[in-house]
């Protein structure tokens, strides 16, 4: 960690690396120059913790009629607005030796000040948050491309077969519910197989739009799934047996932002409405989607399946218990 603390240039490079602002060559040089992969991951985790308050900050857009309301108030004023005097009467300069006590701003000056404030609030602040959101979507899309490369590398190594962690009983839930003693098997245990084989780095599983999720930094060989559900920000297509990439249509979604059917702890939401889209990029935004042909696109609607179906829901199912299964190979069903 000391190599990051004691060198300003390296700290700037680390910030760019963490935010995904470096190109592939710069990232490779950064990783080669670090003491170890664990040291680099620890430094990124520390930086993420430091930046957490910024992620929690939210912007409130000004009312659409704010400008007109301010101008109307100024127009209604028939005389200079008497601000409180700064100096005490005894300290006011005598005539001819300075400005006499009186109004500090006339209406015309106030209009100029209000206009400057409106320009900043109405343009720069929303623009900053919009740019930050765009940057997060871009990093998220790049993560899914890396996962797609990991799928391809795994298939090339294991005879065109995709990652598969083994069978579980047919009625095993894929998510936790309110039952504390319920056993379940997360679908993420399959895609986790990309980590021990070093087909992808653990950081690729974290969407920057989910600041509470954390990069897995342990011994990948010691687990058969992510030890913390928050180590993976993405939902993947339901896997119930060994599969090969050519089994899917090219436009079949195989991974996307976390499904809205579960809460932050990946517990199944029941008894209340859930949003249509993933919450990785806000309640009304949308999700990046990785398809079987390894292309990535951003969609503002979950209706993106090979048969124009909802990628997060099984066809014909309204209430979810965690035991749902897709109706066919072409029925996309992305789960934790």
Q: What is the largest CA-CA distance in the chain?
A: 94
Confidence of residue 336 (pLDDT cuts 50, 70, 90): very high
pLDDT over 80 (residue 203):
yes
What kind and span of H or E run contains 54? helix 37-56
On average, the pLDDT of the chain sits at 80
- Cβ(336)–Cβ(259) under 8 Å? yes
pLDDT reported for residue 219: 93
Show the tokens assigned to 179.
Answer: 């039952």
pLDDT reported for residue 119: 66
At 167, is the secondary structure helix, strand, or coil? coil
Closest CA to 289 of 175, 137, 159, 176: 137
pLDDT in tens, 234-248: 999 999 889 887 888
Q: Rounded distance, CA 109 to CA 117, Å?
A: 13
pLDDT in tens, 265-321: 899 998 888 999 999 988 767 999 999 999 999 999 999 988 889 999 998 888 899
Mean pLDDT of 249-267: 93
pLDDT over 90 (residue 157):
yes
Residue pointed to by tokens 């309640």: 283
At 310, is the secondary structure helix, strand, or coil? strand
pLDDT reported for residue 284: 64
Bridge partners, 234 (sequence order): 257
pLDDT in tens, 24-56: 777 777 777 777 777 778 878 877 777 766 666
Give the residue with greater pLDDT, 248 vs 192.
Answer: 192
Q: Rounded distance, CA 31 to CA 203, Å?
A: 13
pLDDT reported for residue 20: 74
Confidence of residue 202 (pLDDT cuts 50, 70, 90): very high
Show the tokens assigned to 201.
Answer: 């780095």
pLDDT reported for residue 183: 85
pLDDT reported for residue 220: 92
- Cβ(321)–Cβ(174) under 8 Å? no
pLDDT reported for residue 9: 59
Show the tokens assigned to 65.
Answer: 């009629």
Residue pointed to by tokens 């390296």: 10
Give the residue with greater pLDDT, 56 vs 12.
Answer: 12
pLDDT reported for residue 255: 96
Would you kindly state where each structural domain of the chain is located, as residue ranges?
Answer: 1-57, 70-127, 138-335
pLDDT reported for residue 73: 67
Closest CA to 304 of 280, 333, 273, 268: 333
At 308, is the secondary structure helix, strand, or coil? coil
Q: Rounded distance, CA 287 to CA 137, Å?
A: 8
Q: Rounded distance, CA 220 to CA 112, Å?
A: 60
Quote the Cα angle for 232-238-244, to 5°.
105
Instruction: Kindly tell me the sign of the dihedral angle through the C-alpha atoms of 82, 86, 92, 98.
Output: negative
DSSP state of 21: -
Mean pLDDT of 218-243: 93
pLDDT reported for residue 28: 77
| CA torsion, ordered 26, 29, 33, 38, to nearest 10 deg | 80
Residue pointed to by tokens 């240039």: 9
pLDDT reported for residue 86: 44
Closest CA to 140 of 50, 234, 262: 234
Tell whether pTM > 0.75.
Answer: no
pLDDT in tens, 71-124: 666 566 545 545 454 444 444 445 555 555 555 556 666 666 776 776 666 655
């Amino acid at each position: 960690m000391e190599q990051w603390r004691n060198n300003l240039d390296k700290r700037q490079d680390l910030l760019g690396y963490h935010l995904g602002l470096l190109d592939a060559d710069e990232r490779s040089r950064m990783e080669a120059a670090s003491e170890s992969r664990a040291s680099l991951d620890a430094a990124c985790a520390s930086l993420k913790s430091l930046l957490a308050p910024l992620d929690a900050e939210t912007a409130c857009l000004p009312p659409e009629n704010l400008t007109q309301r301010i101008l109307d108030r100024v127009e209604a004023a028939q005389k200079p607005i008497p601000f409180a005097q700064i100096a005490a009467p005894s300290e006011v300069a005598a005539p001819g030796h300075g400005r006499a006590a009186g109004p500090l701003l006339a209406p015309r000056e106030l209009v100029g000040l209000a206009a400057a404030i409106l320009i900043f609030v109405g343009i720069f602040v929303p623009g900053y948050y919009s740019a930050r959101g765009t940057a997060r979507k871009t990093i998220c899309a790049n993560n899914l491309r890396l996962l797609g490369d990991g799928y391809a590398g795994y298939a090339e190594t294991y005879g065109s077969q995709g990652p598969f962690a083994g069978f579980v009983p047919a009625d095993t839930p894929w998510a936790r519910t309110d039952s504390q003693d319920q056993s379940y098997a997360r679908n993420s245990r399959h895609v986790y197989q990309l980590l021990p084989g070093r087909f992808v780095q653990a950081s690729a599983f974290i969407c920057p739009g989910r600041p509470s999720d954390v990069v897995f930094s342990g011994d990948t060989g010691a687990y058969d799934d992510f030890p913390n559900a928050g180590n993976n920000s993405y939902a993947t297509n339901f896997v119930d047996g060994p599969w090969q990439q050519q089994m899917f249509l090219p436009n079949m979604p195989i991974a996307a932002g976390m499904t809205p059917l579960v809460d932050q702890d990946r517990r199944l939401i029941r008894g209340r409405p859930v949003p249509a889209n993933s919450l990785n990029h806000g309640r009304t935004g949308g999700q990046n989607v990785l398809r079987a042909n390894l292309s990535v696109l951003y969609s503002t609607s979950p209706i993106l399946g090979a048969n124009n179906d909802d990628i997060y829901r099984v066809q014909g199912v309204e209430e979810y218990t965690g035991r749902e299964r897709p109706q066919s190979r072409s029925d996309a069903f992305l789960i934790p």
